Amino acid sequence: MSRIGKNPVSIPQGVNVDINNNLVTVKGNLGVLTQTISEGITITIENGVIILDRASESKNHKAQHGLMRSLINNMIEGVSKGWTKELELVGVGYRASNQGQKLDLALGFSHNIVFELAPEVKVETVSEKGKNPIIKLTSFDKQLVGHVAAKIRSFRSPEPYKGKGVKFVGEKLRRKAGKSA
């Protein structure tokens, strides 16, 4: 039995969920998200709670059961509260600034990287003296925020010796010892 798939998803105030054949549409204060549901998974809404059932006990249906429940839960939480990812720039001279949806990154290359963000993602840069610059990404779509954050991190991944690079706030890096004389 899928323990995740069995859990019901509660619908908060201000969120509207529509089910059309295999398409689930979630509307909230922050935006609208849609998701196609896999074959073999049925969705019912009862008393403000979404319940997912699967057609059989096959391995694929069990996996899809938990996945679809998690995706719907993330959609509901996204349109009601939103998702935030924070990235930290570690390194001397590493800077970040934004003008609207353009993120300008100075990451130790010979040129700055200008990254155009999707209109659904809001970006904010925080630079305080004596602290590493921080990039805050906010959106109602969890997948999009994670994808954009991973793309920004890929410009200069943290290296294991000094830890320089772009990392997530709170991320634990695996450090290596340097050369010993």
- Intra-chain end-to-end CA distance of the chain, in Å: 57
> Given strand 113-116, what is the order of strands in its sheet?
95-99, 102-106, 113-116
Residues listed for the chain: 181
**pLDDT for res 21:** 87
C-alpha triplet 164, 86, 73: angle, nearest 5°: 135
Q: Which residues pair with 85 in a beta bridge?
A: 137
2 band by pLDDT with thresholds 50, 70 and 90 = low
Decide: helix, strand or coil at residue 174.
Answer: coil
> 131 Cβ partners below 8 Å, 6+ apart?
none
pLDDT at residue number 5: 85
The Cα angle at residue 148 between residues 9 and 120, in degrees rounded to 5? 65
Amino acid 181: pLDDT: 67
The helix/strand/coil state of 81 is coil
Give me the pLDDT at residue 180, please: 81
DSSP assignment letter at 40:
T
141 CB-near residues (< 8 Å, 6+ apart): 31, 33, 78, 83, 120
Q: In the predicted model, what is the mean pLDDT of residues 39-68?
A: 91
Average pLDDT of the residues in 18-23: 90
**Cα separation of 64 and 175, whole Å?**
37
Rounded CA-CA distance 58/40 in Å is 10
**What domains are there in the chain, each with its CATH number?**
3-80 (3.90.930.12), 83-168 (3.90.930.12)
- Is the per-residue pLDDT at 1 higher than 80? no
Average pLDDT over the chain reads 92
pLDDT above 60 for 142 = yes
Distance (Å, rounded) from C-alpha 111 to C-alpha 52?
A: 50
- pLDDT, position 178: 86
Examine the pLDDT at 122 and tell me if it is beyond 50. Answer: yes
Distances (CA, A) of 42 to 22, 65, 68, 119: 9, 9, 10, 33
Q: For a pLDDT cut of 70, what percent of the chain falls above it?
A: 98
* Residue 58 reports pLDDT greater than 80: yes
